[in-house]
Amino acid sequence: MRIPLLDTMNRRESVSISSRQRSAGQRCGLVLAIIALVCLLVGVAFAEKTCPQCGTVNRDDARFCKSCGAKLPEAERYVPPAPRVRAEVSVDGNVVTINSEPTGARVLVGGVERGTTPLELRGLAPGRYELELERSGYRSYSGSFTVSSPRATLVVTTDPAGADVWLDGEYKGRTTASGLTIARVGEGSHTLRAKLAGYSEATKAVEVQGTGTVTVTLRLEKAMGYLSVTSTPTGATVTANDQRLGITNLILGLTPQRYTLQVMKPGFQDWVGYADIAPAETAFVKVTLDKLATRKWPLLVAGSVLAAGAGGAALLAEQAYGKYQQARARGDAEKYRQETQRWDNVRNIAAAAGGVTLGLYFVLRW
């Protein structure tokens, strides 16, 4: 019998605690309501109006000035602003779709009424447009939208492939064997630029009109390299792969490859070497030529002696020929004829030998 009694007591205590909790919650709500009412009364009590005639401060609910009796202005009532029209504008090419919340708003584009929302506009020229939406009971919406020019697709190929491509200064990618596709290119003039290591940069102007696909090919030429040759002394002849290039000091452009160079100057030892010309780079070659020892003076002496001997033989031949002309006896005439012939032969041989010797003196470079 004790157990039911204990259970009854526990239930009574639980009900009592719940009642106390509800009473506490009601008291808190009442306190908050009283605080709010006090704040309202304080706000009303401390609200005030200033008399426009005498400047006396009056209660906010007063209708006449307590000092001069002038009529006080009515208290201004707060009027919440009207909601604004919300707009949603989408542009697809030259098709413009305009929606609003609420619908039925009047649409003005560039100050010209075009209908009410929802509205779809077509055929607008490329450019920027001012948009206004007006709806009774709502504040107007003001904004803008831009209609872009029609877009085309560029397919760029390069010869050779693998070149980096820029469109109007913006990098677009690298070409493959099938080319490089550049989407959404606007109307007008554009500049394509392609670069590839070892080749000269290629540039091309492209005119895009309307939509569709435009195929462009850029051909890149192998870049020129440069050769600079200086020699000491200057004025030497330079050849590359047996082709004469010019006189030192010189600098000129060549197709990139390896060249066999030869630098020559009379009186100096020839210089032979190699130069590897790389694209868009300059190969510098500096040569000091070694002077040859002069050994040609014996040729000059021998040539001069032979030339003098030819002259002497010519004089002796003339003398023998004169005697031959004056000879009276047959034996004397034959003797002088043979003598004349001998000196003529000596003259011819000496003249020939002297000419060859002097020629070698001027031709030989040592």
CA 202 to chain centroid, in Å, comes to: 12
Phi, psi (rounded to 5 degrees) for 108: -120, 125
In tens, the pLDDT along 186-204 reads: 878 999 999 998 888 999 9
In tens, the pLDDT along 102-150 reads: 999 999 999 999 999 999 998 788 889 999 999 998 999 999 998 877 7
Q: What is the pTM of this model?
A: 0.39
In tens, the pLDDT along 320-344 reads: 888 888 888 888 888 888 888 888 8
Domain topology for 225-288: Immunoglobulin-like (2.60.40)
Distances (CA, A) of 14 to 17, 22, 24: 5, 13, 15
Q: Which of 48-57, 207-216, 232-241, 245-254 has the lowest mean pLDDT?
A: 48-57
The structural domains of the chain, with segments of one domain joined by +, span: 25-79, 86-147, 158-207, 225-288, 297-363
The contacts of residue 224 (CB under 8 Å, 6+ apart) are 200, 253, 254, 255, 256, 279, 280
* Order of strands across the sheet that contains 202-208: 170-174, 164-167, 188-195, 202-208
The Cα 169–Cα 186 span in angstroms is 15
The contacts of residue 2 (CB under 8 Å, 6+ apart) are none
Is cis: bond before 160, omega within 30 of 0? yes
Q: What is the number of helices (H) and of strands (E) in the chain?
A: 3, 23
In tens, the pLDDT along 284-332 reads: 999 999 987 665 677 778 888 888 888 888 898 888 888 888 888 888 8
Task: Look at residues 313, 337, 314 and name the one whose alpha carbon lies nearest to residue 324.
Answer: 337
The contacts of residue 166 (CB under 8 Å, 6+ apart) are 172, 192, 193, 194
**Positive or negative, the Cα torsion across 356, 358, 364, 366?**
positive
The three-state DSSP-derived secondary structure of 201-225 is CEEEEEEECCCEEEEEEEECCECCE
Confidence of residue 62 (pLDDT cuts 50, 70, 90): confident
